[in-house]
């Protein structure tokens, strides 16, 4: 049983939950995720670790209420318990001193880039963060992200806050202005694909964090398989980070729709 | 003396037409009278070949004698001296290749149904047995040393049992939220009811074994961390969990599962009760299952129970080479499974949304014997044909999960990533032991248990030094 210590609403259907999980907090690193089961009859869903506090023994998860499990999770309150939490899963993001780094976060992906930004800063990179949201109401963690970025550029789809447009528009400008040594992109699959397409032309290595469907999260089922460079990989074991220039995003997007008909039942 | 009956007492089973509509167990078990009658067929021969045929060396003639005398508690006590999962092995052991294969009665008639009798004694215990209710198992004097057991499948549970009996303090670490490993995620309810597995696990708890779920060794704690936490030895029974795929075009289309994923969704996550349970599973109308082992058969029979109108089992060799148990092949036939022998998939085709709609196969013929001693299947040029399906389950085997190997420097591996260990499970790291599928590659429940038992002796010896 894992206790919900704090809970915040960050935006429309966007929840932030802080869980008591000392062992996981002790080991967690940027890029890793947990498998959560929110009730005894619940499914196992992967969620990225958006922050961790080794001293307090807590991890933070940010998610959008999209399906049944995230809706149920969102209904829980501070002091409630969830039955199961497995992690930290997946390989930590490889971070070193790259030089100039552009980090793109989209939607709740902005939460997932936070531990990465922290580590990039610790390793003395110049970090330009591009955060994309749907609209002003959806903007969250601006201060938090800003504190660990050298430049923070915010965009909204409708222009109600920051610049109007897609993150790729801004990224294109950033790439045009200065030499970028490494790019990270975390967000909706379609966004990661667009970023990868753009940076492939410019030949800038781009790491994406894939959000495949999962069951076990530890390599025994293969629900999360993804084609990267003509080869099948398991996102949970070999990822979740992959070189975006080699990921078959079209296949991934189709696979994410596998249970669309069941979910609408 | 009465003449000995040559024909074994058959176990009653649910009729095929009824059982394919539910997940209830297929064979119904012996009634007391039937068990006694079957036990009376045992010759109580001096040679006792059955004992040596058993990977955990159960004193088979003795427990059969006890059943014959209606001493059922005594019968289960005898079994439990060697085997902590009798209700499980009584159901899933391939007795026909082990104890029953060498039974002397088999020379003149049918061998004694040892498995059915083991199951009878174990089921009797679960209903009436003293031990389950009281939760007492004779244990050696308490020792102040702790042993970590990694994995809660047959190997891990057996190691925990043997070491707890010797008085060690045991913690079993499991990545999943439930204990039992392949017994809970893999083998379906209709072959091994989950309630039975949980009673067997509960018994270990009553013996004082601690269980830690959601704890994947190699991630949240490494083997090294376990020693730092105060464990004096580590037993690795992490199994062969990584599903193999064929690497053919279209294998990642929607609606194509590994058998592990399909069975985990249905067995562990109870997707057959969706939406009461939150995990969905595709319920294909026409399903192709690839492979010829017990896992492939389990998947195929599960698909039938989920309501499939047609399930094909596609196997590249012929029926004779199928590694699955004969009993299960027969039951699968009764349930309407259609076998496509000497057939191999070469690619999958999809609809516009990425869902599988056809499998293209090629005909095979058997050539020279390969390293497995079976005739190797060879593709027949130009014999490709397609079958319309909307779900595929790939059950062609598994390889060891690499998480522990990747995170344990100094741990020697062999072959396809199995942990290198001697016959007593000693690995390249002192104090670290391993047995079961992670060492042998895919094998049976009972072989994993046999390995774990030997390993427990070696751990005891190591800790006494």
Mean per-residue pLDDT, B43-57: 95
Mean per-residue pLDDT, B106-112: 94
Interface residue of A72, A82, A220, A259 to substitute, partner B, most B CBs within 10 Å: A220
A161 within 8 A of A137, measured Cβ to Cβ:
no
Asked if residue B258 is part of any domain, the answer here is: yes
- Does residue B351 sit in the same domain as residue B247? yes
B175–A86 CB contact, under 8 Å:
yes
- Does residue B89 sit in the same domain as residue B193? no
For the ranges A118-127, A241-250, B395-404, the lowest mean pLDDT is seen at B395-404
Q: Other C-beta atoms within 10 Å of A256: how many?
A: 16
Residue B124 has φ and ψ, to the nearest 5°, of: -60, -45
- B251: tokens are 């294998």
Asked if residue B310 is part of any domain, the answer here is: yes
- Does residue B275 sit in the same domain as residue B174? no
Mean per-residue pLDDT, B119-143: 81
Query: Which residues from chain A sit within 8 angstroms of residue B213, using beta carbons?
Result: 84
- Rounded to the nearest angstrom, the minimum Cα separation between A9 and chain B is 24
Q: How far apart are CA A162 and CA B243, in angstroms?
A: 47
- Does residue B392 sit in the same domain as residue B440? no
- pLDDT in the model for residue B133: 63
Q: How far apart are CA B273 and CA B266, in angstroms?
A: 8
- Does residue B181 sit in the same domain as residue B328? no
Number of domains in chain B: 3
For the ranges A155-159, B133-137, B432-436, the lowest mean pLDDT is seen at B133-137
- In this structure, what is the dihedral angle of CA atoms A238, A242, A245, A251, given to the nearest 10 degrees? 60
Nearest to B175 among A83, A215, A218 (CB): A218
Is B213 an interface residue toward A (CB < 8 Å)? yes
pLDDT at B1 over 60: no
B400 within 8 A of B243, measured Cβ to Cβ:
no
A218–B251 CB contact, under 8 Å:
no
Interface residue of A221, A251, A257 to substitute, partner B, most B CBs within 10 Å: A221
- pLDDT in the model for residue A200: 95
pLDDT at A262 over 90: no
CATH number of this structure's domain A2-89: 2.40.30.10
pLDDT at A172 over 60: yes
- pLDDT in the model for residue B375: 87
CATH number of this structure's domain A100-255: 3.40.50.80
- B250: tokens are 């279209």
- Does residue B257 sit in the same domain as residue B372? yes
pLDDT digits (tens, 9 = 90+) for B314-368: 999 999 999 999 989 999 999 999 999 999 999 999 999 999 999 999 999 999 9
Could you tell me which chain A residue has the CA closest to the CA of B238? A220
| Coil vs helix vs strand at A237 | helix
- pLDDT in the model for residue B139: 77
In this prediction, what percent of chain B has a pLDDT beyond 90? 88
- Does residue B390 sit in the same domain as residue B412? no
Q: How far apart are CA A184 and CA A165, in angstroms?
A: 19
Question: Which pLDDT band, with edges at 50, 70 and 90, does A160 fall under?
Answer: very high
Query: Which residues from chain B sit within 8 angstroms of residue A258, using beta carbons?
Result: 254-255, 282
Mean per-residue pLDDT, B167-178: 97
What average pLDDT is seen over chain B? 94
Is A71 an interface residue toward B (CB < 8 Å)? no
B403–A237 CB contact, under 8 Å:
yes
Nearest to B252 among A44, A225, A263 (CB): A225
pLDDT digits (tens, 9 = 90+) for A215-247: 999 999 999 999 999 899 999 999 999 999 999
pLDDT at A132 over 50: yes
Is B402 an interface residue toward A (CB < 8 Å)? yes
- pLDDT in the model for residue B336: 96
Asked if residue B83 is part of any domain, the answer here is: yes
- Rounded to the nearest angstrom, the minimum Cα separation between B420 and chain A is 21
pLDDT digits (tens, 9 = 90+) for B417-437: 999 999 999 999 999 999 999
- Does residue B264 sit in the same domain as residue B410? no
- Rounded to the nearest angstrom, the minimum Cα separation between A178 and chain B is 38
Full domain range(s) for residue B406: 146-241+400-463
- Does residue B290 sit in the same domain as residue B420? no
Q: How is residue B393 annotated by DSSP?
A: E
Query: Of B134, B161, B190, which marks where a domain is finished?
Result: B134
| Higher-confidence position of B135 and B357 | B357
pLDDT at B32 over 70: yes
- Is omega for the bond preceding B73 within 30 degrees of 0, making it cis? no
- pLDDT in the model for residue B135: 59
A216–B175 CB contact, under 8 Å:
yes
Question: Which pLDDT band, with edges at 50, 70 and 90, does A192 fall under?
Answer: very high
A227 within 8 A of A205, measured Cβ to Cβ:
no
pLDDT at B134 over 80: no
CATH of the domain at B50: 1.10.1060.10
B209 within 8 A of B160, measured Cβ to Cβ:
yes
């Amino acid at each position: 049983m894992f206790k919900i210590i704090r809970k915040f609403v960050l935006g429309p259907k966007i929840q932030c939950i802080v869980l008591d999980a000392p062992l996981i907090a002790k080991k967690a690193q940027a890029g890793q995720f947990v498998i959560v089961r929110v009730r005894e009859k619940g499914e196992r869903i992967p969620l990225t670790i958006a922050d961790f506090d080794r001293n307090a023994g807590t991890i933070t998860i940010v998610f959008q209420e999209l399906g049944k499990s995230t809706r149920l999770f969102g209904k829980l309150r501070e002091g409630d318990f969830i039955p199961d939490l497995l992690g930290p899963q997946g390989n930590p993001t490889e971070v070193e001193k790259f030089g100039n780094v552009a980090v793109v976060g989209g939607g709740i992906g902005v939460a997932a880039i936070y531990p990465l930004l922290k580590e990039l800063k610790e390793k003395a990179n110049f970090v330009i963060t591009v955060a994309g949201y749907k609209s002003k109401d959806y903007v969250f963690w601006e201060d938090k992200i800003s504190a660990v970025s050298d430049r923070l550029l915010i965009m909204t789809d409708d222009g109600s806050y920051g610049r109007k447009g897609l993150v790729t528009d801004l990224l294109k400008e950033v790439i045009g202005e200065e030499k970028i040594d490494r790019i990270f992109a975390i967000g909706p699959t379609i966004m990661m694909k667009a970023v990868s397409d753009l940076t492939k032309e410019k030949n800038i290595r781009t790491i994406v964090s894939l959000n495949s469907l999962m069951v076990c999260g530890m390599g025994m089922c293969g629900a999360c398989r993804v084609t990267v460079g003509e080869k099948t990989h398991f996102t949970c074991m070999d990822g979740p980070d992959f070189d975006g220039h080699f990921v078959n995003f079209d296949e991934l997007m189709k696979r994410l729709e596998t249970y669309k008909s069941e979910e609408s039942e | 003396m009465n003449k000995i009956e040559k024909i074994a007492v058959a176990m009653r089973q649910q009729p095929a037409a009824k059982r394919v509509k539910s997940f209830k167990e297929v064979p119904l078990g012996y009634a007391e009278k039937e068990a006694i009658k079957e036990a009376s067929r045992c010759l109580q021969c001096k040679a006792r070949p059955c004992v040596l045929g058993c990977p955990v060396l159960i004193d088979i003639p003795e427990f059969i004698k006890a059943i014959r005398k209606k001493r059922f508690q005594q019968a289960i006590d005898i079994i439990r001296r060697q085997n902590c999962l009798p209700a499980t092995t009584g159901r899933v052991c391939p007795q026909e290749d082990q104890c029953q294969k060498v039974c002397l009665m088999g020379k003149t008639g049918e061998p004694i149904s040892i498995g059915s009798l083991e199951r009878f004694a174990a089921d009797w215990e679960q209903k009436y047995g003293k031990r389950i209710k009281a939760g007492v198992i004779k244990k050696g004097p308490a020792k102040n040393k702790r042993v970590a057991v990694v994995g809660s499948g047959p190997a891990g549970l057996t190691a925990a049992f043997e070491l707890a009996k010797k008085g060690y303090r045991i913690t079993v670490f499991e990545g999943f939220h439930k204990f039992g490993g392949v017994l809970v995620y893999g083998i379906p309810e209709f072959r091994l009811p989950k309630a039975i597995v949980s009673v067997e696990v509960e018994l270990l708890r009553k013996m004082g074994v601690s269980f830690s779920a959601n704890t994947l060794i190699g991630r949240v704690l490494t083997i090294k961390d376990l020693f730092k936490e105060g464990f004096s030895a580590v037993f690795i029974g992490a199994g062969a969990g990584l599903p193999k795929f064929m690497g053919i075009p279209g294998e990642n289309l929607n609606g194509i599962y590994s058998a592990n994923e399909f069975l985990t969704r249905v067995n562990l996550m109870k997707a057959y009760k969706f939406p009461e349970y939150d995990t969905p599973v595709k319920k294909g109308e026409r399903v192709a299952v690839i492979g010829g082992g017990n896992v492939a058969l389990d998947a195929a029979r599960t698909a039938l129970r989920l309501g499939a109108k047609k399930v094909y089992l596609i196997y590249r060799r012929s029926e004779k080479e199928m590694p699955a148990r004969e009993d299960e092949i027969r039951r699968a036939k009764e349930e309407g499974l259609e076998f496509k022998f000497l057939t191999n998939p070469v690619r999958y085709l999809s609809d516009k949304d990425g869902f599988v709609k056809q499998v293209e196969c090629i005909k095979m013929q058997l050539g020279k014997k390969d390293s497995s001693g079976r005739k190797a299947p060879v593709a027949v040029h130009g014999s490709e044909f397609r079958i319309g399906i909307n779900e595929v389950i790939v059950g062609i085997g598994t390889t060891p999960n690499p998480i522990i190997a990747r995170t344990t420097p100094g741990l020697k591996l062999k072959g396809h990533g199995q942990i290198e260990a001697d016959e007593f499970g000693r690995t390249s790291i002192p104090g670290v032991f391993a047995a079961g599928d992670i060492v042998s590659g895919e094998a049976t429940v009972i072989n994993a248990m046999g390995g774990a038992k030997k390993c427990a002796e070696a751990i005891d010896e190591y800790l006494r030094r």
